[in-house]
Amino acid sequence: MTTRDLTWVAGGSGLVGRELLRQLAGTPVLALVRRPLNGLPADERRDERVVDLQALHADLPAPRRVFIALGTTMAQAGSQAAFRAVDFDAVLAVARAARAHGASHCGVVSALGADARSGVFYNRIKGEAEAALSSLGFERLVIARPSLLDGRREALGQPHRAGEAWGLRLTRPLAPLIPKAWRPIGADRVARALRLALDQPGPAVRVLESGEMQTLGAP
């Protein structure tokens, strides 16, 4: 694997991260995970490393690009400090490591409403992470801000998210009536839109709002 063809993916156990690994099948990929992945078809071009995401080793192979799909919820994290450790510290640590290893392109999954000045803690941390990533000097940074992700987390071995599940039950039947910017979005569309946008020419930083991803990420 060379710097010009390798992709790092962090967060492969989540909805979008798993879709990224599926869509990148057959290409050189290094999956950076905290625990072994299950349920993915074998792929001889995918290397899986169980690592501490906040202390990545210097001997990792150099990537051309990195996708970061890390995230938790306040309910799962249990405290604001624990939430920040995943959604800010780990995200930034992976991006810094990728940049230090020579990555020129970065795609990250943030969230609808991310704003470093927000009074809502969740949105503020997401916004602060976006701002920190923008300062790392990537040639191309694409930030995806999806609305409510539509997918079955339990099938991936992830904890049940009661609030998310309730929201999906309410909104799925009404999806055609909800503006694209707010309606639930499939993880496959987010992954596809992020990949396509990262490979397109454009400004150093591009923000993909959920409505745009509904179209860009369509099969």
Contact present, 183 and 175 (Cβ < 8 Å): yes
Kindly state whether residue 114 falls inside one of the protein's structural domains. Answer: yes
Residue 2 pLDDT: 44
**163 pLDDT more than 70:** no
CATH of the domain at 100: 3.40.50.720
Contact present, 34 and 69 (Cβ < 8 Å): no
Kindly state whether residue 195 falls inside one of the protein's structural domains. Answer: yes
Residue with token string 């390798």: 6
Residue 90 pLDDT: 96
Q: What pTM value is reported for the model?
A: 0.88
Structure tokens at 114: 């991310």
Alpha carbon 61 to its chain centroid, in Å, reads 20
Number of domains making up the chain: 1
For residue 217, count other CB atoms closer than 10 A to its CB.
25
Higher pLDDT, 182 or 75: 75
Confidence category of residue 3, pLDDT binned at 50, 70, 90: very low
Kindly state whether residue 42 falls inside one of the protein's structural domains. Answer: yes
Among 113-117, 148-152, 187-191, the least confident range: 148-152
pLDDT in tens, 96-136: 999 999 999 999 999 999 999 999 999 999 999 999 999 99
**13 pLDDT more than 80:** yes
What lies within 8 Å, CB to CB, of 83 at 6+ separation is: 72, 73, 74, 77, 121, 122, 125
Question: How much of the chain is in helix, strand and coil states, percent to nearest 5?
Answer: 40, 15, 45
Residue 139 pLDDT: 97
Could you give the CA distance from residue 81 to residue 67 in angstroms, rounded to a whole number? 24
**213 pLDDT more than 50:** yes
For residue 123, the enclosing domain spans 7-216
Kindly state whether residue 1 falls inside one of the protein's structural domains. Answer: no
Could you give the CA distance from residue 98 to residue 53 in angstroms, rounded to a whole number? 11
Confidence category of residue 152, pLDDT binned at 50, 70, 90: low
Q: Nearest Cα to 189, choosing from 180, 179, 202? A: 180
User: Edge-to-edge, what's the strand order for the sheet holding 205-209?
Assistant: 46-50, 29-33, 7-10, 65-68, 105-109, 140-145, 205-209
Q: Taking all residues of the chain, what is their mean pLDDT, rounded to a whole number?
A: 88
Kindly state whether residue 2 falls inside one of the protein's structural domains. Answer: no
What lies within 8 Å, CB to CB, of 131 at 6+ separation is: 116
Kindly state whether residue 159 falls inside one of the protein's structural domains. Answer: yes
